[in-house]
Structure 1
Amino acid sequence: MISIKNFVDGLARRGSRPQTYNPYRNPDLTNNLYHYLVEIKQHCDQPVLLVGEALGFKGGRLTGIPFSCGDVFTRFNHPLLAELKSKLILSSRESENTATMVWEYLTEKQQTPLFWNAFPFHPYQVRRPKTNRAPTAKEIQQGSRYLQQLADIFQPTTIAGIGRKGQLAAQKAFPNHAIQRIRHPSFGGKREFIEGMNALFNANRLNHL
């Protein structure tokens, strides 16, 4: 089984490509991701794995951690965020809507899933690095091995996609799993996101009784 350190080092070795930025070329952000994954491993056994699309320019591009932004580490009183705060190197306290909605929910429910993305880097529009774009089919295919490696480390029994591309990527990476789709909270999807997350965690709890 690959170790967390080897997994993170593998991400760092990938060069940035046209319209794609690899934040893990920055050792500070590699450090952040490493501590996030170690804390998840220590915090919960076989966490629920939630798969999104890609890192955003206001969020994971700046923190190195999927579904996060600098602002959530001081804004929300979640045990994982509290543990991580002193270990991270953050150059920005930027706020991102998706990360804010996600951690608002997780703090209220005191849940700690493992977040990852179909494409674990930041794809952006031509000559506009401070934008987001959806990852291509080829990029999602490239991201599949990282997703599989992560699952090998954490052995999640429940895997779900946040948004259509997250679900499809997870289904391709894990064809023998039934992958639930949860509505992405952006663009008016917050209520359906909450409903989907509630159903997911309730089902996961019952499966472990």
Structure 2
Amino acid sequence: MTPASFAQAMATIRLPNVFNPYADQCDVHDRANAPALRRRALRTYLEAIMALGSETIWMGRDLGYRGGRRTGLALTDEAHLPLFSRFYPGTDVTKTTRGEVVAERTAAEIWGALSQLDIPPLLWNVFPFHPHEPDQPFTNRKFTSKERCTVDELNSELVQMLHIDRIIAIGQDAAGYATQFGARVECVRHPSYGGTTEFRAGVCRLYNLTKITPRLASQPLLF
């Protein structure tokens, strides 16, 4: 599988009460061509990872309505899109929604940690879509086991395509899942719900860092 065929395969998955940013259009926030732009971002992101030679995934749980639902990029909100091509050269990302930039606290923590690394990892999720409550698209919920099964094969393809040998699980949900891929799995606390200090300490331990300070994008997006 190639980055292009992987992005197309992601777009074929449709599930009730799940927003697929590579196929679905948000009538409230999205621009007219938002799904196509997010597919392009995903494809070029994977190509950039291959060019960098990064063989590590940071794996979260699923997309949130303030972050990945809008960007199509795991653990990334709109406030950090200006940094994306700097960390992942060649990636073609753009804001796909109308209105003001929306920030997410988890993304600030993740990108604060990334800024300390020589080679950034692939940011990904166990369930790479946004599961929400019925008739409440701007809510977050955990995916079901049946929903997760629909992406198991694609996640396996991703690991093989990128020759992943290390998965850093962001939280216990990801830690239990990641063991099936044959890569070395390490876990850090998810930064949400009071886990910020432990998350930073975990990343420092794994990468031999002394300190992590969250950072925001240095300049606004103009759209």
Classify the TM-score, shorter chain: 0.7 to 0.9
Quickly say closer, same or farther: Cα 1:80–1:178, change in 2 above 3 A: closer
2:33 equivalent to 1:10 = no
Once superposed, what is the RMSD of the aligned Cα atoms?
2.1
The residue correspondences of 1:35-74 to structure 2 (distance < 5 A) are 35-43=44-52, 45-74=53-82
8 Å CA contact retained: 2:44, 2:90:
no
Quickly say closer, same or farther: Cα 1:185–1:110, change in 2 above 3 A: farther
Instruction: Name which of structure 1's ranges 188-197 and 4-13 shifts more when overlaid on structure 2.
Output: 188-197
Quickly say closer, same or farther: Cα 1:189–1:27, change in 2 above 3 A: same
* 1:178 CA displacement: 4.3
Name which of 193, 199, 202 aligns with 2:199.
193
The residue correspondences of 1:1-209 to structure 2 (distance < 5 A) are 2-15=1-14, 17-25=15-23, 26-43=35-52, 45-74=53-82, 79-80=86-87, 84=91, 87-92=92-97, 93-171=101-179, 173-174=180-181, 176-202=182-208
8 Å CA contact retained: 2:45, 2:90:
no
SS in 2 for 1:161: strand
SS in 1 for 2:203: helix
* 1:163 CA displacement: 0.8
Q: Distance in 2 between matches of 1:77 and 1:11?
A: 21
Structure holding more helix per residue: 1
The answer for unaligned runs of 5 or more in structure 2 is 24-34, 209-223
Q: Percent identity?
A: 29
Q: Distance in 1 between matches of 2:84 and 2:151?
A: 32
Q: Distance in 1 between matches of 2:74 and 2:111?
A: 12
Q: Distance in 2 between matches of 1:195 and 1:112?
A: 18
Q: Distance in 1 between matches of 2:78 and 2:205?
A: 28
8 Å CA contact retained: 1:59, 1:95:
yes
The answer for unaligned runs of 5 or more in structure 1 is 203-209
Q: Distance in 1 between matches of 2:191 and 2:88?
A: 20
Q: Distance in 2 between matches of 1:49 and 1:81?
A: 14
* 1:77 CA displacement: 8.6
TM-score where L is the length of structure 1: 0.85
SS in 2 for 1:112: coil
TM-score where L is the length of structure 2: 0.80
8 Å CA contact retained: 1:73, 1:82:
no
User: Could you list the runs of 4 or more consecutive aligned residues of structure 1 that deviate by over 6 angstroms after TM superposition?
Assistant: none
* 1:177 CA displacement: 3.9
Q: How many residues align?
A: 195
Q: Distance in 2 between matches of 1:95 and 1:179?
A: 29
